[in-house]
Amino acid sequence: MYKIAVMGDYDSIYGFATLGLSICPVKDRDEAKTKLRQLAEGNYGIIYITEAVAAQIPSEINKYGEQTFPAIIQIPGVSGNTGAGVEGVKKTVEQAVGSRYSVWRSKRMSTGVIKKSQDLLLSQRECVMRICLTLSVYRNSV
Protein backbone atom coordinates (compact mmCIF):
# COMPACT_ATOMS: atom_id res chain seq x y z
CA MET A 1 0.00 0.00 0.00
CA TYR A 2 1.26 3.46 -0.85
CA LYS A 3 1.92 6.07 1.82
CA ILE A 4 1.39 9.84 1.82
CA ALA A 5 4.08 12.35 2.80
CA VAL A 6 4.05 16.09 3.38
CA MET A 7 7.21 18.16 2.80
CA GLY A 8 7.86 21.75 3.80
CA ASP A 9 8.82 23.96 6.69
CA TYR A 10 7.91 22.47 10.06
CA ASP A 11 5.33 25.12 10.98
CA SER A 12 3.39 24.46 7.77
CA ILE A 13 3.30 20.67 7.97
CA TYR A 14 3.31 19.49 11.59
CA GLY A 15 -0.50 19.36 11.74
CA PHE A 16 -0.63 16.71 9.03
CA ALA A 17 0.91 14.19 11.46
CA THR A 18 -2.43 14.06 13.29
CA LEU A 19 -3.97 12.70 10.09
CA GLY A 20 -1.43 9.90 9.98
CA LEU A 21 0.63 11.36 7.14
CA SER A 22 4.43 11.22 7.16
CA ILE A 23 5.81 14.69 7.75
CA CYS A 24 9.20 15.64 6.33
CA PRO A 25 10.37 19.07 7.49
CA VAL A 26 13.10 20.58 5.33
CA LYS A 27 15.14 23.73 5.91
CA ASP A 28 16.93 24.43 2.63
CA ARG A 29 17.02 23.62 -1.07
CA ASP A 30 19.58 20.80 -0.87
CA GLU A 31 17.74 19.07 1.93
CA ALA A 32 14.47 19.39 -0.02
CA LYS A 33 15.99 17.82 -3.15
CA THR A 34 17.43 14.93 -1.18
CA LYS A 35 14.22 14.29 0.74
CA LEU A 36 12.07 14.42 -2.42
CA ARG A 37 14.30 11.81 -4.08
CA GLN A 38 14.10 9.58 -1.00
CA LEU A 39 10.32 9.81 -0.87
CA ALA A 40 9.92 9.27 -4.61
CA GLU A 41 12.09 6.15 -4.49
CA GLY A 42 10.25 4.94 -1.39
CA ASN A 43 6.73 3.60 -1.16
CA TYR A 44 4.99 6.99 -1.39
CA GLY A 45 2.11 7.42 -3.82
CA ILE A 46 1.41 11.05 -2.96
CA ILE A 47 3.82 13.74 -1.84
CA TYR A 48 2.34 17.05 -0.76
CA ILE A 49 4.91 19.84 -0.85
CA THR A 50 4.51 23.43 0.27
CA GLU A 51 4.54 26.02 -2.50
CA ALA A 52 7.54 27.78 -0.94
CA VAL A 53 9.68 24.64 -0.99
CA ALA A 54 8.43 23.65 -4.46
CA ALA A 55 9.52 27.05 -5.78
CA GLN A 56 13.09 26.22 -4.70
CA ILE A 57 13.27 22.87 -6.54
CA PRO A 58 11.17 23.08 -9.73
CA SER A 59 13.59 21.03 -11.84
CA GLU A 60 13.57 18.20 -9.30
CA ILE A 61 9.75 18.18 -9.22
CA ASN A 62 9.55 18.22 -13.02
CA LYS A 63 11.53 14.95 -13.14
CA TYR A 64 8.46 13.20 -11.72
CA GLY A 65 5.88 15.11 -13.78
CA GLU A 66 5.37 12.44 -16.43
CA GLN A 67 5.42 9.52 -14.01
CA THR A 68 2.29 8.06 -12.51
CA PHE A 69 3.93 7.64 -9.10
CA PRO A 70 4.42 9.63 -7.01
CA ALA A 71 1.83 12.35 -7.50
CA ILE A 72 3.46 15.57 -6.27
CA ILE A 73 0.88 18.13 -5.20
CA GLN A 74 1.70 21.64 -4.05
CA ILE A 75 -0.10 23.06 -1.03
CA PRO A 76 0.02 26.50 0.59
CA GLY A 77 2.15 26.96 3.69
CA VAL A 78 1.97 29.32 6.66
CA SER A 79 3.72 32.00 4.62
CA GLY A 80 0.69 32.28 2.30
CA ASN A 81 -0.77 31.04 -0.93
CA THR A 82 1.03 31.80 -4.20
CA GLY A 83 -1.57 30.08 -6.37
CA ALA A 84 0.95 27.54 -7.72
CA GLY A 85 -0.84 24.64 -6.06
CA VAL A 86 -4.19 25.56 -7.57
CA GLU A 87 -2.58 25.96 -10.99
CA GLY A 88 -0.96 22.53 -10.69
CA VAL A 89 -4.25 20.83 -9.83
CA LYS A 90 -5.99 22.77 -12.61
CA LYS A 91 -3.36 21.60 -15.11
CA THR A 92 -3.77 17.96 -14.02
CA VAL A 93 -7.55 18.17 -14.36
CA GLU A 94 -7.18 19.78 -17.80
CA GLN A 95 -4.97 16.90 -18.89
CA ALA A 96 -7.36 14.31 -17.46
CA VAL A 97 -10.45 15.86 -19.04
CA GLY A 98 -8.68 16.54 -22.32
CA SER A 99 -9.71 20.17 -22.60
CA ARG A 100 -8.90 23.48 -21.05
CA TYR A 101 -11.53 25.11 -18.96
CA SER A 102 -12.00 28.16 -16.87
CA VAL A 103 -14.51 28.91 -14.18
CA TRP A 104 -16.24 32.25 -14.42
CA ARG A 105 -18.07 33.65 -11.43
CA SER A 106 -20.41 36.57 -11.28
CA LYS A 107 -21.64 38.45 -8.23
CA ARG A 108 -25.15 37.09 -8.75
CA MET A 109 -24.10 33.46 -9.10
CA SER A 110 -22.98 31.27 -6.23
CA THR A 111 -21.77 28.56 -8.61
CA GLY A 112 -19.25 28.87 -11.40
CA VAL A 113 -19.87 28.56 -15.11
CA ILE A 114 -17.41 26.26 -16.81
CA LYS A 115 -16.12 27.39 -20.18
CA LYS A 116 -14.38 24.79 -22.35
CA SER A 117 -12.04 25.07 -25.29
CA GLN A 118 -10.96 22.17 -27.45
CA ASP A 119 -7.24 21.96 -26.58
CA LEU A 120 -6.70 18.23 -26.28
CA LEU A 121 -3.74 17.58 -24.03
CA LEU A 122 -1.51 14.52 -23.72
CA SER A 123 -1.25 11.87 -21.00
CA GLN A 124 -4.96 11.70 -20.15
CA ARG A 125 -4.63 8.15 -18.89
CA GLU A 126 -1.81 9.06 -16.52
CA CYS A 127 -3.74 12.03 -15.15
CA VAL A 128 -6.86 9.96 -14.54
CA MET A 129 -4.72 7.35 -12.80
CA ARG A 130 -3.15 10.05 -10.59
CA ILE A 131 -6.54 11.43 -9.61
CA CYS A 132 -7.83 7.92 -8.79
CA LEU A 133 -4.64 7.12 -6.90
CA THR A 134 -4.96 10.32 -4.86
CA LEU A 135 -8.51 9.47 -3.89
CA SER A 136 -7.87 5.81 -3.13
CA VAL A 137 -4.67 6.34 -1.14
CA TYR A 138 -6.32 9.11 0.88
CA ARG A 139 -9.41 6.97 1.54
CA ASN A 140 -7.30 3.99 2.65
CA SER A 141 -5.01 6.05 4.89
CA VAL A 142 -7.69 7.83 6.90
Distance CA 31, CA 42 (A): 16
Q: Comparing C-alpha atoms, which of 16, 52, 22, 19 is closest to residue 35?
A: 22
Give just the sign of the alpha carbon dihedral 21, 27, 31, 36: positive
Q: Give the predicted TM-score (pTM) of the model.
A: 0.66
* % of the chain surpassing 70 pLDDT: 63
Integer Cα distance of 142 and 136 in angstroms: 10
pLDDT at 132: 60
Question: Which segments of the chain are extended strands (E)?
Answer: 3-8, 22-25, 44-50, 71-75, 100-104, 113-117
Bridging pattern class, strands 100-104 and 113-117: antiparallel
8 Å CB contact between 32 and 50: no
pLDDT, tens digit, for every residue of 64-123? 877 878 989 888 888 777 777 777 767 766 666 665 554 444 444 444 444 444 443 434
